Amino acid sequence: MIEELFQEIAGGVALALEAMVVLIIAGAAIKAIIRMAPLLFHDDLLVEARHDIWMRFATTIILALEFTLAADIIRSAVAPTWDAIGRLGAIAGIRIALNFFLARDIETLAEGRKRRMEAAKETGKSDD
């Protein structure tokens, strides 16, 4: 009886976390669309802004995956089944892969931004 009650509570907490995932991703997608709309017609302009929008959205997806992973951990902690363990493993694997590739992409963008800023400073100094 206590285990059933605990499963109900854990299920409710996991469901709340999954609802947060939906809200987080929906909110981030709407924000990205609103920020991106004015940039769609400027192919050569505002590349930094596009990269910034992408990085923020990608970071939000990572956060959402963390919430999803937390929900699955809560569900599988009560009475783990092979299905729950497999789902947990799949989400953990996706999260690890996404984190790796997104971190690499963010680092590449940051390095490019740094090089452009240094080049702009040097150009500004040579004009004096």
Block means of pLDDT (10 residues each) for the chain, length 128 residues? Answer: 86 94 96 87 71 86 86 82 85 84 82 83 65
How would you class 71 by CB atoms within 10 Å of its CB: exposed for 0-12, middle for 13-18, buried for 19 or more? buried
What the block records as the tokens of 92 is 């953990």
DSSP 103: H
What is the domain partition of the chain in residue ranges?
2-126
pLDDT at 43: 65
pLDDT at 119: 84
Alpha-carbon gap, residue 91 to 71, rounded angstroms: 11
pTM higher than 0.85 for the full model? no
pLDDT at 113: 79
pLDDT at 128: 47
pLDDT at 9: 92
Contact assessment for residue 106 and residue 53, using Cβ atoms and an 8 Å cutoff: no
